[in-house]
Amino acid sequence: MDTLKIHFKNWFLLLMVIAPIYTVFGQDSKVVLAESKLDVNGTSNVHDWTIEAKAMSGKASVTLDAGDLKAIKSLDFSVEVEQLKSGKSGMDKNTFKALKSTSHKNITFKLVKVIKITTISDNNYTIETQGDLTIAGVTKRINQSFTTKLIGKKMVFTGKQKIDMTVYGVEPPKALMGTIKTGKDVTVDFKVTYN
């Protein structure tokens, strides 16, 4: 009887030790284009404008513990330059030229490190990160904040980033013989779903 108690106690202790290990697991995901949206918003001396990304891709790898987000191991995101569409072919052509799309076909973001993950509520988080943003072949380290929501196996990253395009060697596009001039600053608004 004493031997049985000892065996039971040992098994119980073993389960207590290994149980937490099995609640922690990694999840690898890819961008779901149909459930994602990215807009580039800018200004000109005539009117404000918006360009929408029609093609994007990316991967994310995170660590979950009992459904709670604990770490982001990797995160990357890419937008095809020539799939940035304004609905106006002339403006699109000028945008592609400014972004040097013939030699630099994608705009990319690659996570470098996670600074902080804060739980807002169940399955909702704010995440402060640093990452490398590459535009027109020029890479700069930026601070990027996200709000992130877990929905089953899906992760939805929402945020915005103000960008001075001249920092990346991009000259603001002009139109109509230079009479329409765009501002150097744009704001990128995004809501990207990974699954």
> What would the pLDDT profile of 81-115 be if each residue is shown by its tens digit?
999 999 999 889 999 999 999 999 999 999 999 99
The model carries a pTM of 0.85
Residue 121, domain member (yes or no): yes
Residue 176 lies in domain: 25-194
Task: Check if the beta carbon of residue 40 is closer than 8 Å to that of residue 188.
Answer: yes
Residue 18, domain member (yes or no): no
Residue pLDDT, tens place only, 156-193: 999 999 999 999 999 987 766 666 788 999 999 999 99
Residue 32, domain member (yes or no): yes
Q: Check which CATH number belongs to the domain holding 62 and give it.
A: 2.40.128.110
pLDDT at 12: 47
Distance CA 68, CA 71 (A): 9
Residue 145, domain member (yes or no): yes
Residue 174, domain member (yes or no): yes
pLDDT score of 154 more than 90? yes
The structural domain count of the chain equals 1
Residue 2, domain member (yes or no): no
Residue 13, domain member (yes or no): no
Residue 20, domain member (yes or no): no
Task: Quote the mean pLDDT of the chain.
Answer: 89
